[in-house]
């Protein structure tokens, strides 16, 4: 099983239509808020082109 830094899954950005592997994304963390405070952080992947978190997995057939 691969981690985020070497994952071969292909993703596409909804905002700028960039396409690449999860390994090519910017790996960071995002905060969850409740009652005006940070309650947890979770790993998140961001588009290296526009910085959006709005990524979707795509099929290899669709990518061709």
Residue-by-residue pLDDT tens, the chain, 64 positions = 567 667 778 999 999 999 999 999 999 988 877 787 878 888 899 999 999 999 999 976 554 5
Please name the helix (run of DSSP H) or strand (run of DSSP E) that holds residue 47, with its range, or none: none
Write the CB contacts of 17 (distance below 8 Å, at least 6 apart in sequence). none
């Amino acid at each position: 099983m691969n981690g985020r830094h070497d994952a071969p899954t292909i993703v596409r950005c909804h905002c700028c239509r960039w396409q690449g592997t999860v390994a090519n994304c910017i790996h960071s963390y995002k905060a969850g808020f409740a009652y005006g405070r940070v309650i947890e952080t979770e790993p998140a992947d961001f588009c290296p082109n526009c910085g959006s978190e709005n990524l979707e997995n795509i099929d290899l057939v669709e990518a061709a």
